[in-house]
Structure 1
Amino acid sequence: MPHHAQDNLTAMQAKELAQYLAFAPIAFQAARSLLRLGILEALDAAGKQGCDVAALAQQTGVDEYGVQVLLDMGMSSRLVIFDGSLYRLAKTGYFLLHDDMTRVNMAFTDDVCYRAMEHLDDAIRDGRPAGLSELGDWPTIYPALAALPEPARTSWFEFDHFYSDRAFPELLKQIFGDNAPQHIVDVGANTGRWASQCLKHDASVQMTLVDLPQQLQLAGASMVQQGFAQRVSLHPANMLEPDVRLPRSGDLWWMSQFLDCFSPEQVLHILRAAHAAMPDDARLYILELFWDRQQHAAASYSLNATSLYFTCLANGNSRFYRSDELLRLVHEAGFVLLSEEDDVGLGHTLFRLAKAPATVA
C-alpha cells in the first residue's frame, strides 16, 4: 500500500507529530540561524570531538546565550546531539550543511515562501496569489521573475534549475537518440536553459522558444551570449489568451515543468492550442513532477508543499498534479499516450504523446 494511503501511527506518535507541526516555524528559523551564524559549520569542523558552548561562542562571535538556545532547539530538531557537556553535529545537521537539495529547498522556503504563507487563507478563499504582495505588486509571479527582489530572485531560480538540471543528461540521450528531432518548439521556455542544452548537444537542431515577452528577453540575451542566435527563434505568447497564436512547425514540442503553473481549465486550453498548432506527425513531450509517482514519502511531501507556493505566490490556482489528473486532460485535448517513464532525474515523469487519431493506427 502506498505511503499516502496509510495511517499507521499510534495515538502517541500522532500526538507527538502534531507538536512538531505546532512549533515547525520556530524550528525552521532556528535551523536557518544555526546555518547563517556558522554554528553548525563550527560543529562540523570539530568532528567527533564536539564543542562546548563557550568555544562555539568564541568561534562564531555569537554570545553564549544565543548559541545555547539555538543549540537546544537544534537538539530537539535532531540537528545536534548533546552528551551533557559537549555538542556534536547529528546526521540531519550534516545534511543541512552539505546536501544541495536541502540547501536549495530551505532557501526557497525562507526567501520566497515563508512570509507569503501568512496570506494562505486569503489565497485559498479568493483563488489569487495573495502572498505575492510580500515580494511586489504583480498579478502573478511569472512576469515578475526577472524583477523579483533579492534574495528571492536567486533562490527562486536556483530552486527551479536544481530539479530540471538533474534530468537534462538523461533526457538529452533519450530525445536525441535514433530519431533525433530537427526542430524543437519549447513551450514555456523560461530563461532558455533547456534550449541551450539541446543546442549544445546537437549542432544542427533548431529551436523555437515560446513564453511571455518578459521571459523571452532573458532567454534571447542568453542565446546571443552563447552564440546560438542563428538557430533560435523567439515566439512571444501568452498561453492563456483565448486565441493564442503558436508556431505551426516543429517535429518535437516540449513542455517541461510548465503545465503545473496553470489550473486544470488553463492546462486544457494550452494543450488544445498546442494540438491545433502542431503538425500532425509531431510529438509532444511533457516532463512533470507528480506527487503520486514518487518513491519516497519525503518527495511527495516536498511536492505537496510546493503546490502551496503555487497557491499563495505563483497564481492562486495551480499545483503539482496527480498523474491521472493530467493524463485525463491530455486525452481530453486530443492526444494519445505513446509511452511514459518515471524516475527521470529527481523524480520527474516523462510523457511521450501524439495527436489522435492521425498518427495512430
Structure 2
Amino acid sequence: MNHFSKDRLTAVEAKEAAQRVAFGPVMFQAAQAMRKNGLLQVIRDAGKAGITIEEAASRSGLSHYGARVLMEAGLGMGAFLLNEDKYTITKMGFFLLSDPLTNVNMNFIDDVCYDGLASLEESIATGKPEGLKVFGEWNTIYEALSKLPPQVQKSWFEFDHYYSDGSFPLVLPMVFATGVKKIIDIGGNTGKWSISCAQYAPDIYVTIMDLPGQVSMAQAKIRELGLEDRITFHPVNILDENQQFPKGHDGIWMSQFLDCFSDSEITSILKRCYEAIDENGYVFILENFWDCQRFEGAAFSVQMTSLYFTALANGNSQMYDSKVFKKCIHDAGLCIEEQIDHIGEGGHTLLICRKA
C-alpha cells in the first residue's frame, strides 16, 4: 500500500483536508438528508440543464430556505456544480444517490454507528464498546443483534451481507477445489454461506457454529429451504475456551468473523480450529485487510470500519493489517498454503490454511 508511505498534500491542501475532517459529521448529515428528502434525485433529474434553488424547492417539497442551505452545502462537499444560478449533480453526487456500496455504507453509519461513535474516546480508554449503550445493556453487539430496532438490524445485515454476498460465488469454487466435503461454518450468522455451500453441490454438509440468537435466525431460513438434512447447528459462545469445536469435519470456514475479536482471541479460536481438524484438514479465512486493498478509498473504508468495532461491537477488535492477522495464524500452529487477494468489490482476501 504505497498510499500511506508519504505525505502528498501541500500545506494549503492539507489545511483544506483538515477542515473536511472538522466538518465531516455536518457533511454526512447533509448528504443523508438530501438522499432521504429527494433533493439529490431532483437535481439528478434536472440533467445537464441544471436547476435553480426555487425550482428544486418546488419539486422536492422543501422550503426555499431548506433547499438553499442543503444545495450550498452540496457545493462545498462536491456533490453539485453551480453555473449561472443552475445546480447540476457531479459524479460524486451521483454516487451518493445511486451507488449501492455508498448507500449501504451510509445507512450503516447512520443507523448503527452514528450515535454510538460519540463514545469512541471512552471506548478507547476502557477497551469496551461504550457506544453500544445507545441501544441497550449488552457486552457486545453480537448478543444484541436479534433484539436491535428493525431499521438498525436491517442496516447492519445489509452492510454485512453486501461485503460478503458478492464474494461468496467467487470463493465457493476455490474452497471446494480442495476436496472438502464436510465443513464447520463458524460465525454462520443468518446462514448465507452454509446455504450457498449446500446449494453448490449435493454432497456437501455444513455445521453452523454461532451464538444461540444467531443460530435461531439461521434455522428458520434453512427449514424454509428444506436443507435441515445438510445443515446442522452447534450453538456456542466462541469466546468460551472450554468449548471445543466438533471433530469429524475436513474444513473450517470463517468469513468476516475473526475481525470481531482481539489478537489473542483470534489466536485462541485458531488453536481450537487446529485441534478440530485432522492432518489433511483445511481452515479457510475470508477477510478484508486494509493493506491488501487495490484502491486507497477501499483501504480508507476498511480502516474507518475498525472504529465501529471499537465503539459499538466489542471494544477490542478491528479490520486488520494482514501482517498482524498472519502472526495469529502462525502462533496457532497453522500455515498459509495460499493467499488470494482482490476478491469481489469488497476487496476480500481468502487465506487457505493447513496445519504447519
Q: Which moved more, 1:199-208 or 1:121-130?
A: 199-208
> Hey, what's the Cα distance between the residues in 1 that align with 2:183 and 2:241?
24
How far apart, CA to CA, are the structure 1 residues paired with 2:32 and 2:223? 39
CA-CA distance at 1:36 after TM superposition: 0.7
| Cα drift, residue 231 of structure 1 | 0.8
One-letter identity of the residue aligned with 1:35 = R
Secondary structure, counterpart of 1:230 in structure 2: coil
Aligned residues of 2:175 and 2:284 also touching (Cα < 8 A)? no
User: Percent identity over the alignment?
Assistant: 41
- Measured after TM superposition, the shift of residue 150 of structure 1 is 3.0
Name the Cα RMSD after superposition. Answer: 1.0
- Aligned partner of 1:212 in structure 2 is 211
Kept in 2, the 8 Å contact 1:196–1:223? The answer is yes
Give distance in 1, aligned partners of 2:244 and 2:251: 17
Alignment-derived partner of residue 256 in structure 2: 257
- After TM superposition, the structure 1 = structure 2 runs for residues 345-356 of structure 1, keeping only pairs within 5 Å, are 345=344, 346-356=346-356
Asked if the contact 1:50–1:87 (Cα under 8 Å) also holds between the matched residues in 2, the reply is yes
Q: What is the deviation of 1:5?
A: 1.2
1:351 counterpart SS class: strand
Amino acid in the other structure paired with 1:207: V
What does the per-residue CA deviation read over 1:295-316, in whole Å, with 9 as the maximum and x for residues that have no partner? 1111111111100000000000
Cα shift at 1:355: 1.1
Relative to structure 2, which stretch is displaced further, 272-281 or 325-334?
Answer: 272-281
User: What secondary structure does 1:228 align onto?
Assistant: coil
Give the count of matched residue pairs: 355
Structure 2 counterpart SS, 1:229: coil
The residue aligned with 1:359 is none
Give how far 1:128 is off.
0.3
Counterpart AA for 1:218 = M
**1:54-80 deviations in whole A, cap 9, x for unaligned?**
111111111000000000000111101
1:278 to partner: Cα distance: 1.6
Displacement, 1:279?
2.1
Map 1:282-321 to 2 at 5 A.
282-321=281-320
Q: CA deviation at 1:181?
A: 2.1
User: What residue number does 1:90 align with?
Assistant: 90
Query: What amino acid is aligned across from residue 254 of structure 2 in structure 1?
Result: M
SS in 2 for 1:151: helix
Q: Distance in 1 between matches of 2:110 and 2:268?
A: 33
Give a deviation string over 1:78-101, Cα, whole Å, max 9, x none: 101111311111111101111000
TM-score, normalised to structure 2, is 0.98
Gaps of 5+ in 2: none
- Aligned equivalents of 2:215 and 2:350: distance in 1? 25
| CA displacement 1:104-143 (0-9 Å, x = unmatched) | 0000011111111110111000000000011222111001
Aligned partners of 1:76, 1:329: CA distance in 2, in Å?
A: 44
Q: Which runs of 4+ in 1 moved over 2 A?
A: none
- 1:169 Cα offset (Å): 1.3
Whole-angstrom CA distance in 2 between matches of 1:131 and 1:216: 25
In the alignment, which residue of structure 2 is the partner of 1:2?
A: 2
Would you say the 8 A contact 2:39–2:60 is kept in 1? yes
Larger deviation, residues 311-320 vs 41-50: 41-50
Deviations along 1:244-279, one digit per CA (max 9) or x if unpaired, are 121101111101111000001111111111111222
Local SS of the residue matching 1:233: strand
1:290–1:323 CA contact under 8 A, matched in 2 = yes
